[in-house]
Amino acid sequence: MSRVGKKPIPVPDSVALTVKGALARAKGPLGELTTSLMPGITVRQEDGIAHVEIAQTGKRAGAIHGVMRAMVANIVEGVSKGYKRELEIIGTGYRVALEGRKLIFKLGRDHPVEFPLPEGIEAKVTDRPPKVEISGIDKVLVGQISADIRRLQPPEPYKGKGIKFVGEYIRRKAGKAFAGMLAEIKAGRFQGCKDIVFVHTGGIFGLFPQSQGFNW
């Protein structure tokens, strides 16, 4: 049995969860969602709690059990709370605006980039700093649309310009000039700077005398 699959699913009073054949349906204040159940999967409800059960045993059965439980939990949460992902746009002159059912991005190109929003997806835009929030009741669709928007201009590793998820960590690289200077200093070939060390902390570069206590 799967540890994930065994977890109970709280069903709020505002949500009606029904199972008919191989189809689970959740209806709540935000809308209605369905998900297909694989053979051998049953959903039992009691006292506002749903339990996803599986008849088979074995390693593959455990994986199926966990996935089915997650899918049922997703539709219950989707129709009651919904899902959202937030992206931020970083770069001089980079902007985003919402016009009807389209997001209009200015990403340093010679033309704006239009992104139409599919049915079931809503967007909110803030200007300073430029951010866009994607929301909806379908977790898979919200994630897919957010990933498609990020793909319009993925963040580059040198200055971090581009579109990224809020809170996403982008591993930064030193520019070629800094990398070359660093190699020269380490090798002691940087003329007149043998007593200088090169420090990189939190994206800030600096040259400091070793006499101040800085060392490799």
Longest dimension (CA), the chain: 80
The CA distance from 123 to 114, in Å, is 14
Q: What is the CATH number of domain 83-165?
A: 3.90.930.12
Are the folds of 9-80 and 83-165 the same? yes
The DSSP 8-state label assigned to residue 152 in this structure reads T
In terms of DSSP bridges, do strands 204-209 and 102-106 run parallel, antiparallel, or are they unpaired?
unpaired
Q: What is the pLDDT of residue 85?
A: 96
CA torsion angle for 151, 159, 110, 141 (degrees, to 10)? 20
SS3 122: strand
Q: What is the pLDDT of residue 187?
A: 66
For residue 211, give every residue at least 6 positions away whose Cβ sits within 8 Å of its Cβ, in sequence order, or none. 195
Judged by phi (left if over 0) then psi (alpha if -120 to 50, else beta), residue 194 lies in: alpha
Q: What is the pLDDT of residue 204?
A: 46
Q: Residues 169-186: pLDDT tens digits?
A: 888 877 666 666 666 666
Q: What is the pLDDT of residue 206?
A: 54
Q: Exposed, middle or buried, 150 (CB in 10 Å: 0-12/13-18/19+)?
A: middle
Per-residue pLDDT of the chain (216 residues; tens, 9 = 90+): 678 888 999 999 999 999 998 999 999 999 999 999 999 899 999 989 999 999 888 778 889 999 999 999 999 999 999 999 999 999 988 999 999 999 999 998 999 999 999 999 999 999 888 999 999 999 999 999 999 999 999 998 888 899 999 998 888 877 666 666 666 666 666 555 544 555 555 444 555 554 444 444
> What residue spans define the domains of the chain?
9-80, 83-165, 176-212
Q: In this structure, is the dihedral angle defined by the CA atoms of residues 4, 44, 137 and 141, taken in order, positive or negative?
A: positive
Fill in the amino acid letter for 25: R
Q: What is the pLDDT of residue 18?
A: 94
Q: What is the pLDDT of residue 214?
A: 46
Q: What is the pLDDT of residue 170?
A: 84
The CA distance from 82 to 26, in Å, is 13
Q: What is the pLDDT of residue 190?
A: 54
The CA distance from 199 to 190, in Å, is 15
Q: Does domain 9-80 have CATH number 3.90.930.12?
A: yes
